[in-house]
Structure 1
Amino acid sequence: MDNLVAEIRQIISQSRESATRSINHTLTLMYWQIGHIIVEDEQKGKERAGYGKALIKNLSIQLVAEYGENFSNRNLQLSRQFYLTFPNVNSVSSQLTWTHYKALVRIDDLNKRDFYLAEAGKNAWTVRQLERQINSLLYERLLMSQDKESVLAIAQDQKKPTQPHQVIKDPMILEFLGLKPQASYYEQDVENAIITHIQEFLLELGNGFSFVARQKRIVIDSDEFKIDLVFYNRLLQCFVLFDLKMDKITHQDLGQLQMYVNYYDREIRELYENPTIGVLLCADKNDAVVRYTLPENNTQLFASKYQLHLPTEQQLINEIRKELGENE
């Protein structure tokens, strides 16, 4: 009896999800068609710009009176932009809702928009998750370690990430932890907040990550150590170890992380798996210490600064310029 109930529940759940997706896609296509009609009508006007504004305003007055605020002046403007941005109706994904597209059409840069379009569909992002990734400047942060073509190719599944720098972000944005940027915290406070918000942290880490352990105990020659957080990345096929630091990092911190990575490589990972990655997640990064402590051909250890607030575009530009200056 229990098995029968479970099967029926699954059928009901799947049917409801299918119906919801169908309704959402129908609504999305409705707004696309409205945008198409508006643009086609505009092209008949002699003074296109002025006529278009008046047309949408008058349309909105009538449609809102009959059908409600979903047909406001702003939504009609977005419908028009929706059609202009995605003129081929076959390119409108059934996985994304009208609200997803309202966020996407506001992005002027084609490569950037294509990136978020691909990632949102591939990862089944909610609208809130999509907007969070846009606001945290995910695309720009990935560009700090690779070129536009690679970022877009990986998002569209035309290319798989093969190098750690393609998945490890610097900086990492952790505003979802709810910690005040100016307050003092212990490493355990940040770790606890990450575990509490593990779903959001996995979203920030990106594709392919899964959580393995916290405070992972290892014993080396009778001495006990604990690794703060352990993850696995199925795309890179390797373990990713996180060590949290509240202060500016030192060469001793990097040395300890290197020891953890060496232990995992020699004692834990299987022959078919790739070398372990270590990430020192820190509140303040001493770039000179990192540069001179790690070997020039390093591909396993990373120091990534975390931020407890969403960055402004200017802040990120400054970070990019700083990185470029170091690499010159």
Structure 2
Amino acid sequence: MPDIVPLPADYPAWLTELKSRIHSAQQRAALAVNRELVLLYWQIGQDILTRQTQQGWGAKVIERLAQDLRNAFPDMKGFSPRNLKYMRAFAEAWPDAEFVQAVLAQLPWYHQLALLDKLKSEAERRWYVAKTLEHNWSRNVLVMQIETRLFERSGTAITNFEDRLPKPQSDLARESLKDPYRFDFLGLTEAAQEREIENALVRHVTEFLLELGAGFAFVGRQVLLDVGGDEFFIDLLFYHLKLRCYVVIELKAGTFKPEHLGQLGFYLTAVDRQIKDEHDSPTIGLLLCKSKNKVVAEYALSDKTQPMGIAEYKLLESLPAELQTSLPSIEAIEQALQHTEGESDA
């Protein structure tokens, strides 16, 4: 049995660094391949569009083209008639070649198909493209965000951030909240009480953080505050990594009432004095309620000196009762998407 040669002292650290460099090189290579593939598909789509317009190409020509390309490149997937039509739709949806090269080519092809299939507006597509690149969403997460109408809900909570926070923090804080929040992954009925909702959110904290959005880190639930010997408990406490501040979330199972903000403000003061570090920004409060009168909420916030927001939550989508019980879970959606991707030869 050969003798074991003693390794240099710095060998483990060097090996770790080397593996990291190899992994980074593999990632860069994969991104480069994806970029070239997306650009190739866009160029093919543009050619098809041009010939259809100028020469009146029909579906039969595309079917023949698919057959010829597959014969010429038998080891290369993606030349089915269906995918060629997607290439044409891709080029038609994105006529700006510079934007395709600089931005869209960073996203995998399956992301492009999700954007084409599920969105009709270029403005919405551009918004989801930007968010996907910013947060590195997988295709499944992108699809879920589209289907839960994130674009329509983002930045719509009623807040006083513009008057209580400096720019650009006020804009970022406003965009970090949405209205309504969807808690349909909890499997609760509309009759659920505050503590029941809170318990379920903690059990499903991964989905809850995904719904809250990028930047939120979970700190704790029923966080104890000792104020002058009296004990108080915060429903949910988070820290926002981009805003660099604590976020207190209070749940109310009924309709919003102005007095709710008094309790929330008390918690913000306590967190600022007992928990917040000197380098943290002022703590933000978010009151989640089952329903609210918008005018009442705006009035209630107008004289509050602390940064707060008010938003509704939905335990189930507003669907007919006979359909609510058959709402798919996130797991079911992901499995269906994976099954669809597996069947496609795009």
Indicate the SS of the match to 2:137. Answer: coil
Matched, 1:259 2:282: no
> Equivalents in 1 of 2:311, 2:239: separation in Å?
17
Indicate the SS of the match to 2:269. Answer: helix
Matches within 5 A, 1:263-302: 263-270=270-277, 273-285=280-292, 287=294, 290-291=297-298, 293-296=300-303, 300-302=307-309
The Cα of 1:98 is off from its aligned counterpart by: 0.5
Matched, 1:206 2:213: yes
Matches within 5 A, 1:67-82: 70-82=78-90
Matches within 5 A, 1:101-116: 101-106=112-117, 107-116=119-128
Change (3 A) 1:299 1:225: closer
The Cα of 1:297 is off from its aligned counterpart by: 5.8
* Range moving further from structure 2, 20-29 or 257-266: 20-29
Matched, 1:119 2:131: yes
The Cα of 1:118 is off from its aligned counterpart by: 1.1
Alignment deviations for residues 73-106 of structure 1 (CA, whole Å, 9 cap, x no partner):
3322211121223331423444310111112234
Counterpart in the other structure of 1:26: 36
> Equivalents in 2 of 1:10, 1:199: separation in Å?
28
Matched, 1:221 2:228: yes
Alignment deviations for residues 118-173 of structure 1 (CA, whole Å, 9 cap, x no partner):
11111111111111111111111236469xxxxxxxxxxxx955244332211112
Matches within 5 A, 1:187-206: 187-206=194-213
> Equivalents in 2 of 1:42, 1:114: separation in Å?
26
Matches within 5 A, 1:155-166: 160-163=168-171, 164-166=173-175
Counterpart in the other structure of 2:187: 179
> Equivalents in 2 of 1:273, 1:257: separation in Å?
19
Aligned partner letter, 1:128:
N
Give the structure, 1 or 2, with the largest relative contact order (CA under 8 Å, sep 6 or more): 2
RMSD, matched Cα? 3.3
Q: TM-score, normalised by structure 1?
A: 0.75
Aligned partner letter, 1:179:
G
> Equivalents in 1 of 2:308, 2:254: separation in Å?
18
Aligned partner letter, 2:88:
R
Counterpart in the other structure of 2:163: none
The Cα of 1:189 is off from its aligned counterpart by: 4.1
> Equivalents in 2 of 1:294, 1:68: separation in Å?
59
Change (3 A) 1:15 1:248: same
CA contact (8 A) 1:35 1:82 kept: yes
The total of aligned residue pairs comes to: 294
Change (3 A) 1:37 1:134: same
* Range moving further from structure 2, 253-262 or 296-305: 296-305
Aligned partner letter, 1:168:
L
Indicate the SS of the match to 2:54. Answer: coil
Counterpart in the other structure of 2:148: 136
* Range moving further from structure 2, 289-298 or 254-263: 289-298
The Cα of 1:289 is off from its aligned counterpart by: 5.6
Counterpart in the other structure of 2:325: none
- Max Rg structure: 2
Change (3 A) 1:265 1:229: same
Counterpart in the other structure of 1:56: 62
Taking only the aligned residue pairs, the percentage that are identical comes to 34
Q: TM-score, normalised by structure 2?
A: 0.71
> Equivalents in 2 of 1:310, 1:126: separation in Å?
24
> Equivalents in 1 of 2:296, 2:65: separation in Å?
62
Indicate the SS of the match to 2:39. Answer: helix
> Equivalents in 2 of 1:161, 1:73: separation in Å?
49
Counterpart in the other structure of 1:84: 92
* Range moving further from structure 2, 212-221 or 199-208: 199-208
